[in-house]
Amino acid sequence: MSPEKRGYLRPPVEPMLASARETIPGAGALRGGLAMDLKWDGYRVLAFSPDRPGGPFLLQTRRGALIQDRFPDLVAAAVQLPLGLVLDGELLVLNSEGTMDFGALQRRAVTTVPRTVQTLAKAYPAYVVAFDVLQIHGQRVMAEPYEQRRDRLEGLFAGQALTPPWTLCPSTVGHPRCPRYDLGRPGPGGEGQCRHRSGPRCVAAPSAPGPATPGHARGRRTGVLTGSVRRPSSLSGL
């Protein structure tokens, strides 16, 4: 039976996107509270582990393109992942100084010549920083509240003993400051804060009236504060 007939999520899947707000909600302003984590200087991706032994690992961009052929280091590392998993996160690369390098990420994302792909993979290793899980062991979990999905995500990393390039994005609940994080290496930093509404569910929904479209992961939004925390340059809110 095909993965689609078994109800597995398969590309293309539309990730949740942020919606703009002029101010940051204050304490207690939103039912369920807030969860805060870092906004990374990378590409939004969905990582699909194989749906069966020997099946392909797939890496999908926000716009639906498949780019796993440009990231053989992630393909090789997918052996750590359980079958039927879909992670939502940020794709990053680090340079020789251990800092995030968006220019190098762009080079890797557009390079398709096999020899150059391998050279860039060695020079600029890739990481996926996971901040949500949409499917685990073939079971869709998008309809669960965010805090339950977060518990599943943390349990996955602990239970599978996942190691880089698979990296768990730290999250702070009910705290005014976003946690610091360094991918286990010195100083890559981050672009700003992400704020999640922790109570409501992420319910699959269509973009227009009518039946829900399989594979869409729309619903509650993520807030993003860019620039420095003291002097934010923009806010996309909840």
pLDDT digits (tens, 9 = 90+) for 29-40: 666 667 777 778
Confidence (pLDDT) at 6: 65
Confidence (pLDDT) at 40: 85
Q: What is the C-alpha to C-alpha distance for residues 148 and 231, in angstroms, rounded to an integer? A: 32
Domain boundaries, the chain: 19-237
Residue 238 has pLDDT above 50, yes or no: no
Is the model more confident about 139 or about 23?
139
Is the model more confident about 110 or about 206?
110
Query: Using the 8-state DSSP alphabet, how is residue 210 labeled?
Result: S
Confidence (pLDDT) at 132: 96
Confidence (pLDDT) at 37: 76
Give the helix/strand (H/E) hosting 34.
strand 34-39
Residue 59 has pLDDT above 90, yes or no: yes
Please tell me the class of the 19-237 domain. Answer: alpha beta
Task: Give this prediction's pTM.
Answer: 0.76
Confidence (pLDDT) at 20: 65
Average pLDDT over residues 72-100: 96
Q: What is the C-alpha to C-alpha distance for residues 81 and 58, in angstroms, rounded to an integer? A: 12
Confidence (pLDDT) at 75: 98
